Amino acid sequence: MIHKVLDVMALSEEVARDSQSGKLSKQLLAEGQTLYGINPDYPEYLERITPDGRRTLGQWRDGEFDAGFILLYKS
């Protein structure tokens, strides 16, 4: 049996680089994932980005995302 050693530092640097460039977000959205984060223009809300590019602002209530309004642009 061959054991492969994982270079954790190299992996973390790659993830950081892909995250900052937007590559990681694009890949996750292409795989059908929904992303959540902070929109600097509306820091009091969470921003949800769906795989089809829709961006919605809202807040977590009772364990679910409660959409406040949809932003009228796509990335």
Three-class secondary structure of residue 49 per DSSP: strand
Contact 44, 51 (CB under 8 A): no
Would you state the pLDDT for residue 6?
83
Would you state the pLDDT for residue 32?
96
Would you state the pLDDT for residue 22?
84
Summary mean pLDDT of the chain: 86
Question: Which strands sit side by side in the sheet containing 46-49, from one edge to the other?
Answer: 35-38, 46-49, 55-61, 64-71
pTM over 0.85: no
Which regions in the chain score pLDDT beneath 70? 1, 71-75
